Amino acid sequence: MSDLSMFFAENAVKEENVKYAASKRFLTKDKKAVEWELCCISSKEDEDIRRSCTKKVPVPGRKGQYNSETDGNLYLGKLAARCVVFPNLNDVALQNSYGVMGADNLLKAMLKSGEYSDLIIKVQEINGFDTDMDEQVEEAKN
């Protein structure tokens, strides 16, 4: 029988939060870009976020049949909002300063579109979505 102790939760390498400057427009007192803090989430949390962004849509011409559709933009926004540890996107004063409600809406208000896109990419990367199929095929060959 093989030793499974290496898979025990206490033996798994703990993920460190990642520092990331999401924008050059938010500066410290010494004029350096403020580093945001990002974390990764569990597969269960990801599933819950994805489920909250999925709705049943009736199949045209098929009475009583439905397909599930996930709103990709909503999912990515909620994923990013969940993974931002600092700044606290749930802070009411911060949301009020931008005139929005909700962490995902705050991100979109705070960041320019390119900055938001880059943040989404970084969040996906730290959550393990950064490898594409070609990389996985090459890794499997070796």
Mean pLDDT for each 10-residue chunk of the chain (142 residues)?
Answer: 79 89 93 95 94 90 87 94 96 95 95 95 91 53 46
Predicted confidence at residue 84, as pLDDT, reads: 96
Predicted confidence at residue 139, as pLDDT, reads: 52
Cβ-Cβ contacts under 8 Å for 58 (sequence gap 6 or more): 65, 66
Supply angle C-alpha 34, 35, 36, rounded to 5: 115
Other beta carbons less than 10 A from residue 119's beta carbon: 22
CATH no., domain 15-127: 3.30.2220.30
Predicted confidence at residue 87, as pLDDT, reads: 96
DSSP-derived pairing of the beta strands 66-70 and 36-38:
unpaired
- 42 alpha-carbon distance from chain centroid: 11
Predicted confidence at residue 142, as pLDDT, reads: 44
Collapsing DSSP to helix, strand or coil, 131 comes out as: coil
